Each structure stands twice: as structure tokens, then as C-alpha cells.
């Protein structure tokens, strides 16, 4: 996808690793200035784009961090065109064992932080006259059951409602969209999906016969952020390669094979 974002400023939370890093690299390669954040310094980016990327070490689970990040972006570049609420996640834990502290931390990261950041970004965009956009990175966990990650799935589901609600409330000045992300292979996938063997097994079970890649999500973000997509707002775009086959199909197939 070839889109020119020269001169634009894009914020990507969690933009130094995983899906966020892929998004950062794609926009920087398209000419944008990137503001990324995280709790740990990212690995160095390619020299061809490194000067366009500015990192701020913050914990977005703290409400005051939202304005700090927006101010950092304005100070560095003088504008803000797009906020991508990418940072998220949560450890798998049995629901009966999830502590209040863990549950609150997961909700803060995946739902409250995007709300706070979106509020701060909205005011900055209005002040600078930018008809900007906000992109929320959600998950298939928002649209199906999420055993072992109830707080995460609930937060990501809430983020979809945030998306459609803000899209209506902030139109026509700021567009708000979401991406429902499927299974994506990143540096963290080895532990999460049972190693290389587990990821290979998963890939074979998916309609596209592969897991997603960070660049797949990056391309979707570029489409939604493109000013030419000016009538796309309130969309929850599914980027999951056809979805996950329902488990009953495999159960039925195995039952049929045992019956022969």
C-alpha cells in the first residue's frame, strides 16, 4: 500500500515492539513523524527511519500520562494527525484466581488508557485545526468468549463501543475507527502460542493457512489514517484472515473419523 504521510505526526502507543513496531515502521517509511511510547526503551530502528521516530518512556496506565504524551508530540513536531491506541495485553489467568489488582491493571491498559489518550488527542487536534483520526487496536477476544482472559476480552469489547460512540460524538472533526485483530505472529508469540510447533499447528487451522503479521495490521492502519478515507468513521475493521474455524467442526470431524 503506497500512501504519502510526509509531514504528518502519528502517535503509536507500544510502538517499539510487536504489532506496534510494525505500524511504526510502516508509517515512518511513508514519511510520517512517529511518536511512540512504552515502559522500556525500544530496540534501535533502521537508520533510514530512526530520525523520524521519537520515544517517550511513560506508563499509559496512569491517567496523567495521556496529556504528557500528547504534549510531547506537539513539542516535537507541532501537530498531531493520528493517534493509534495499540498498547495492550494481559497475562492468561484463571478467572477465579485473578486478583483485583491484576484485573484493574488490565482494564487500565486496554480500555481506560485509550479513553484518556483519545480525549487528550481530540483537544490537540481541534486546537491545531487538524481533521485527525484515532485508531483503536482491538482483538477477536472482543467478539468471542475469552476464557482465561476475561478482563482483557471485556476491555477490548468495551474499546469497540468507545470507537463507535466517539465516532458519532466527534464527527466531523475527528474520525474514530477500530481494528479487530486476529492471531498475529510477533516476537512474543513463541511463548503465547506454544512455540514454533504450536504456531505451525495454528496456522494450518486458519483459513489463510498462516498467522497474521504486524505489517497486515499496519496496512489496515494506513488505510484508516489516510485522509482519502474521510468517510470511514465508526468502523470496526476485522483483520483476521477469515476468522477462527468454530471448534465444533473439528470435533465433528474427529468424531466421524473414529466412527469409521
The residues that are catalytic are 152
- What CA–CA distance (Å, rounded) separates 212 from 115? 26
What order do you get walking across the sheet with 9-13 strand by strand? 53-57, 33-38, 9-13, 82-85, 133-139, 175-181, 236-239
Buried b vs exposed e over 31-54: b needs ≥16 C-beta within 10 Å? ebbbbbbbeeebeebeeebeebbb
- How many Cα atoms within 13 Å fall on the side-chain side of residue 205? 14
Amino acid at each position: 500500500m503506497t500512501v504519502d504521510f510526509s509531514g504528518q505526526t502519528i502517535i503509536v502507543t507500544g510502538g517499539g515492539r510487536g504489532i506496534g513496531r510494525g505500524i511504526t515502521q510502516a508509517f515512518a517509511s511513508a514519511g510520517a513523524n512517529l511518536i511512540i511510547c512504552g515502559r522500556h526503551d525500544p530496540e534501535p530502528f533502521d537508520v533510514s527511519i530512526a530520525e523520524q521516530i521519537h520515544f517517550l518512556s511513560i506508563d499509559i496506565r496512569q491517567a496523567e500520562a495521556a496529556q504528557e504524551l500528547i504534549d510531547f508530540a506537539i513539542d516535537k513536531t507541532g501537530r498531531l494527525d493520528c493517534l493509534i491506541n495499540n498498547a495492550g495485553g494481559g497475562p492468561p489467568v484463571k478467572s477465579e484466581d485473578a486478583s483485583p489488582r491484576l484485573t484493574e491493571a488490565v482494564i487500565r491498559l486496554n480500555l481506560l488508557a485509550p479513553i484518556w489518550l483519545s480525549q487528550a488527542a481530540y483537544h490537540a487536534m481541534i486546537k491545531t485545526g487538524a481533521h485527525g483520526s484515532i485508531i483503536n487496536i482491538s482483538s477477536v477476544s472482543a467478539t468471542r468468549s475469552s476464557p482465561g482472559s476475561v478482563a482483557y476480552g471485556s476491555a477490548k469489547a468495551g474499546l469497540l463501543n468507545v470507537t463507535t460512540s466517539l465516532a458519532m460524538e466527534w464527527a466531523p472533526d475527528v474520525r474514530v475507527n477500530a481494528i479487530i485483530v486476529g492471531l498475529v505472529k510477533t516476537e512474543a508469540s513463541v511463548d503465547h502460542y506454544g512455540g514454533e510447533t504450536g504456531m505451525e499447528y495454528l496456522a494450518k487451522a486458519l483459513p489463510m493457512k498462516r498467522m497474521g503479521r504486524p505489517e497486515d495490521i499496519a496496512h489496515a492502519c494506513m488505510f484508516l489514517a489516510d485522509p482519502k478515507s474521510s468517510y470511514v468513521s465508526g468502523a470496526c475493521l476485522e483483520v483476521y484472515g477469515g476468522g477462527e474455524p468454530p471448534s465444533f467442526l473439528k470435533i465433528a470431524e474427529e468424531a466421524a473419523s473414529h466412527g469409521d
